Structure 1
């Protein structure tokens, strides 16, 4: 299905400033770099597209840094030298890891692009107030999203509220996590007022006021998770009432709605369906605008058996679904077959019993190459909003009760073909979320948010670590990643490394 919106083309601005493939070690660009741009409303639209462009790595990143880190995946490779091995193995030497560095650089690149739009936006060039408000709202939503991604990976961060010179950037230290959250929440509250409740035509897929509200609700829930004493993303602030108010608004007043068939949510011909509140948009056609995720989560030996699949799709290494996740599905749970490819026979006749994610895979529509899968990646779904509401109620948010929690969970279970349950607890809810969102990159963050990451992972590690590469147990410092080594050496003493990392 042809996409209605192409958000991820390198605009003329971004071609002149930095290529789509290049990553910045420091955010700022000089004033001279943009002197000949931002002269028309169309150029501002190009620029905001450039800010959206930094969402393109999110699907692979969530697979690398959340799914692989969690109890959903056992990712130790045969050689132990793949980039994700140290992530999977909780290594203390991750500061030199390319995945950790890319997450930092790409997010701050997105923040720089959003800041550039905000700095330059003015009524003299964009005279239409509605267009100007929407540009500002999108830039603030994206800046908040990039900062939220960063604070969950790294904890304390430098705050850039505008584009600064490279010299000025070297004088800006990391701010505390509460200060970063204040900045995020300010942006989202502003975006809620500036953005439309929906887009039409070619603009479908851009951020809406409902997306800002849903993201802010997730921020409140994350902040409210137990404080692990590490200056990480959870602060124990008990903002469940605030989250519940936002979630109820989305449920009661938005155009987003329940989708009765689970598989159809991820159907290539049903993108931007009512379950999708905000996603990363991709488009096939050999233009470099497609997704790499379906092949990246798979394995070449599988794709070699499927006609017309461009090869190689991924590394030859399995990152196999953990036995714990496989066994967590009840019989007849339709989500398992949608989410997981469990076994196949390779082109040499060898039977492979290990499993991998296939949730975003459609073998009949692979695109032109391994970078070209035409499937969007959901960042916030309506189902997530419902289950976040259940979470807020169970945590003591005012205005809901146990029956409402049970009803929400049983809606999700009924769609999965399962019998209803009663007396849903936080542990039951966490498990239901695991099965519903497996492969969508939420698991690690939710283990942290629910206060279960140490308990769950320390029970899981000895059961799954067949190659004996993981530690016997993890500690709270493992919840966040180290600051990339390249950032520590730009100016000695500007940033202090996160505790316990080399």
Structure 2
């Protein structure tokens, strides 16, 4: 037999980069950060499933879908092994790992400009916090992973307590806010900013009832004078209104960027589209799949109060297709399309029904997903003020949002409310301002409504899907596939 030295064969593939051959230059760091943003385009994040997971469990949204993954999400019937939980878990943890790769390696890369390095590090911290924010909101008991899998050597992590995870999320957002710029040139629109980090830091405090700390962060965003409410509410949900002065952070989608292949859950290719499937998922049939629909309750809630011009709240026609004179969708008359369904309610917000397309069935919407709007900061700040005993100032901030849609000035009336009355008013205001934007379920959950028998009864009246809610299912189950490969994971209560 002929023998040879062990280094005779070079087993490294010269055509494939490794962690050892990468992470050498500033450009490597930039591409690494860009890859974290790419993680927001997967079906388990904001291509489609994240919006469904956020919206369908709210009392403003129901799912009449024939696909049980969708309909069972809305009725709290998802069990241990469906792609809803699996893809959310996989895609958002993928974002965490990509952020960790940048944070593990950026300190070893020589930078000519320290500010540029700080910015990239801030983006990675922000995006790690953002991914963890959604993970802990969806699953509650998750592993807290602060190193890339390769560098940690821990392939079977245990779950942290929710408190530990929230503490790290707050730290990451706080650290990011000290490194990120306040804005960018047009070429870099959509990247994380100081304002985005502060707003999500405030939201994280609010979710944990740390009202004084949350209020300070929201006030910092307000006092920056960078953001304003746009005059036309509907501009927040169209391509033409993207990255407007009200937008604090939005996921950038485009029909022009990339190719035309839908990017589901896989290694990204150059031919991947940078579009979202939200529009086709939510759009009413026959223009989309009708996987989501407004509840009758939210429709009626919009009609409770007329504008100062005695008109219906303009947010209703931005958000919902319904039977009113001259209602058109995708170039067709509502009355003709739904002649036999005159009480039909269809999702309009984030759709392309006014853009000239005939339907959404190419799956390729270019409308950016707004994850944080300035109106949310104003109303969250108002909520903190109420919880801190300042109902008068709280009333002023509520009215700022109402003024945009020309609702009557009731600030003096609101200022006389008790704290409990103001909570009810804030619930109403938030439901109308953020219908179908992924906030409602998180709101009713953090307000404790699911543990309040009277409020739970009210929710069941709003949306019959709550009839099948059981304690524990305010969170999704840990995917069974993950439990089978990681012996350190434990299933959530209620499953």
Aligned residues: 435
Partners of 2:132 and 2:169 within 8 A in 1:
yes
Map 1:75-114 to 2 at 5 A: 75-77=63-65, 79=66, 81-91=67-77, 93-114=78-99
Aligned residue number for residue 499 of structure 1: 493
Secondary structure of 2:126's aligned partner? helix
Structure 1 residue 53 displacement after superposition = 1.2
- 3-state SS in 2 of match to 1:277: strand
How big is the shift at 1:100? 1.1
The answer on whether the counterparts of 1:123 and 1:129 sit within 8 Å (CA) in structure 2 is: no
Give the alignment's Cα RMSD to 1 decimal: 2.4
User: Relative to structure 2, which stretch is displaced further, 133-142 or 122-131?
Assistant: 122-131
Cα separation, partners in 2 of 1:365 and 1:43, compared to 1, 3 Å: farther
SS in 2 for 1:55: helix
3-state DSSP class of the match of 1:278?
strand
Does residue 63 in structure 1 map to residue 43 in structure 2?
no
Unpaired runs of at least 5, structure 1: 1-15, 18-31, 225-238, 304-313
- Name whichever of 320-329 and 450-459 sits farther off: 450-459
Name which of structure 1's ranges 210-219 and 44-53 shifts more when overlaid on structure 2: 44-53
Render the CA deviation track for 1:19-62: whole Å, top value 9, x for unaligned: xxxxxxxxxxxxx8323322322222121111011222326334
Q: Which residue of 1 aligns with 2:34?
A: 49
Query: Cα offset for 1:462?
Result: 5.2
Contact 2:229-2:404 within 8 A present in 1 as well:
no
Q: Which runs of 5+ in 2 are unaligned?
A: 1-14, 260-272, 307-311, 324-333
The answer on whether the counterparts of 1:76 and 1:88 sit within 8 Å (CA) in structure 2 is: no
> In the superposition, relative to structure 1, how do residues 376 and 443 fare at CA in structure 2: closer, same or farther (>3 Å)?
same
* Cα separation, partners in 2 of 1:318 and 1:191, compared to 1, 3 Å: closer
Verify: 1:392 aligned to 2:391, yes or no.
Answer: no
Cα distance in 2 for residues equivalent to 1:365 and 1:131: 42
Deviation per residue, 1:284-307 (Å, 9 max, x gap): 126201222122211341x2xxxx
Q: Give the structure 2 partner of residue 483 of structure 1.
A: 478
CA distance in 2, matches of 1:252, 1:58: 30
> Residues 454 and 475 of structure 1 are in contact (CA less than 8 Å); yes or no, is this contact kept in structure 2?
no
Pair 1:341 & 2:321 matched: yes
Q: Deviations over 1:149-175 (max 9, x none)?
A: 011111121111111249943442001
Specify the SS of the correspondent of 2:467.
Answer: coil
Q: How does 1:53-202 map to 2 (within 5 A)?
A: 53-56=38-41, 57-58=45-46, 60-77=48-65, 79=66, 81-91=67-77, 93-122=78-107, 124-165=109-150, 168-202=153-187
Deviations 1:254-299 (A, max 9, x none): 4112322212233422211111001111111262012221222113
2:255 to 277, 284, 309: 284
SS of corresponding position for 2:18: helix
Secondary structure of the 1:218 match is: helix
How far residue 349 of structure 1 moved from its aligned partner, in angstroms, is 6.1
Instruction: Give the secondary-structure state (helix, strand or coil) at the position aligned to 1:211.
Output: helix
1:327 matched residue in structure 2: 300
Calculate the TM-score normalised by the size of structure 1.
0.81
Could you say if the C-alpha distance between residues 270 and 64 of structure 1 is closer, same or farther in structure 2, counting changes exceeding 3 Å? closer
Could you tell which deviates more after superposition, 382-391 or 451-460? 451-460
Task: Give the number of the structure whose alpha-carbon radius of gyration is greater.
Answer: 2
2:449: which partner in 1?
Answer: 452
Q: Which residue does 1:311 correspond to in 2? A: none
Q: Where in structure 2 are the equivalents of 1:363-382 lying within 5 Å?
A: 363=353, 364=355, 370-382=362-374
Between the aligned partners of 2:448 and 2:362, the Cα distance in structure 1 is 38
Alignment of 1:250-265 (within 5 A): 250-265=221-236
Q: Mean Cα displacement is larger for which, 360-369 or 46-55? A: 360-369
Question: What does residue 268 of structure 1 align with?
Answer: 239
Q: What are the Cα deviations for residues 174-227 of structure 1, in whole angstroms up to 9, with x where unaligned?
A: 011111112111111110111011111201110011110000000000011xxx
Q: Measure the CA separation in 2 of the matches of 1:129 and 1:463.
A: 53
